[in-house]
Amino acid sequence: MLKGHTLAEKLIASHVPGSSGVYPGDLVEVDVDVVLANDITAPISLREFESLGVERVFDPEKVVLVADHFAPNKDIKSAEQCKLMREFARAHGLLHHYDVGRMGIEHVLLHEQGLVLPGDVVVGADSHTCTYGALGAFSTGMGSTDIAVAMATGSIWMRVPETIRFVYTGIRRPWVGGKDLILYTIGQIGVSGALYMAMEFAGPVVDGLPMADRFTMSNMAIEAGGKAGLFAVDDTTREYVAGRAKRDYQVYAPDTDAAYARVITIDVSAMEPQVSFPHLPENTHPVSEAQGVKIDQAVIGSCTNGRLEDLRVAAQLLTGRKVHPDVRCIVIPGTQQVYLDALREGLVETFIEAGAVVSTPTCGPCLGGHMGILAAGERAVSTTNRNFRGRMGHPDSEVYLSSPAVAAASAVAGTIVHPDEVI
């Protein structure tokens, strides 16, 4: 006898015309609400789109292009990439093309602007498109060729994934937030532990998380191999969406008798802030095991931790303190709005007085692009999402992943420390 449906199955089925329900393993054609690409991935998609011989995108309101990886342009090649996007957006009358002055890191920008809502299906030519699962949307990354087809037809095909349900219980300690929960989780199941599966986050601990922490957790589902990272919609979600939604949306919830591939319960009561050692996100340790690791650079930002709440935490640690003279501290607001809000709240002043540098919104150092490349032998603590060998620069550099609290505290100490060490 067939059981009820998971949240992922509900969301997918709602976008399969004529479907009465889908189950893991089904191959389905799915209508999409948002199609996303950036200045690295979009040019490939746009060339493939042109090869299809289609005159117009399926809906100029639903195709979103964001220049965030190498904008403002760092070199001639990146300038050409952004020019292609600019010309395509103008030719097709795209309503949501975010260029310099309006742009931000895509996975902070789209939900800030109300472009993604609960119940949506979103596909993007970027692996961290899974971020929007925090809103109760099915959101996943795809290849640039698939995105070209989605731009043309408004649909994609996929195999319905199985779901692992993660239930978080207990009481969070101070300084333990969404970044620590997801790093710990990836440490438990590994970088392939949820390969092509939806990760459904639940339990009293995540019910109490603010949206910023939920976005962080969904963002890193891909680091466990996940197809999507999903939260059910609750009052916190609705409050976040209320001032942003420009269209109606539909809320879906998993059935009480849904069939999960696994259910994993994690008691967070004894959890410390987490640090992922080089060179995989799964190489996770409590911060007490990283104490004393000398760093050359601290990066606070990215699509994982570039929201205003993240900057507030960092500023709390940096207020009245100085960045260690041997450390370069780089703070990157996720969007222009985050930057402006941080400026108005005095956070930018705090960062600069502490000896940090504040950048325009960019993915920059996260992928070893610009604005913070590491040299051979250098070591960084970073609030980004990946620490593969050579990810942020030279193959002989090292990246330690952490929360904004640990990164800011470590910038002051010159070594990786628990935030309490500098308070």
Tally the domains of the chain: 2
Domain boundary among 265, 288, 315: 265
Quick one: pLDDT at residue 20? 85
Coil vs helix vs strand at 159: strand
Cα 38 to chain center, whole Å?
14
> What's the pLDDT tens digit per position in 324-348?
999 999 999 999 999 999 999 999 9
Regarding predicted confidence, which is higher, 422 or 151? 151
> What's the pLDDT tens digit per position in 293-312?
999 999 999 999 999 999 99
Reported as a pLDDT band with limits 50, 70 and 90, residue 71 is confident
> What's the pLDDT tens digit per position in 204-230?
999 999 999 999 999 999 999 999 999
Instruction: Look at residue 1 and tell me if it is in a domain.
Output: no
For the packed helices 211-219 and 235-242, what is the interaxial angle rounded to 10 degrees? 100
Asked whether residue 92 falls in the same domain as residue 150, the answer is yes
- Catalogue the E-assigned strands of 75-114: 96-98
Asked whether residue 299 falls in the same domain as residue 194, the answer is no
Domain boundary among 265, 296, 315: 265
Asked whether residue 301 falls in the same domain as residue 341, the answer is yes
Instruction: Look at residue 147 and tell me if it is in a domain.
Output: yes
**Eight-state DSSP code of residue 335:** B
> What's the pLDDT tens digit per position in 391-407?
999 999 999 999 999 99
Asked whether residue 236 falls in the same domain as residue 358, the answer is no
Instruction: Look at residue 2 and tell me if it is in a domain.
Output: no
Domain boundary among 238, 265, 292: 265
- Catalogue the E-assigned strands of 250-322: 262-267, 274-276, 284-286, 297-300
Coil vs helix vs strand at 36: strand
Asked whether residue 170 falls in the same domain as residue 280, the answer is no
Asked whether residue 191 falls in the same domain as residue 292, the answer is no
Looking at residue 159, which CATH number applies to its domain? 3.30.499.10
pTM, 2 dp: 0.95
Residue 398 domain boundaries: 274-421
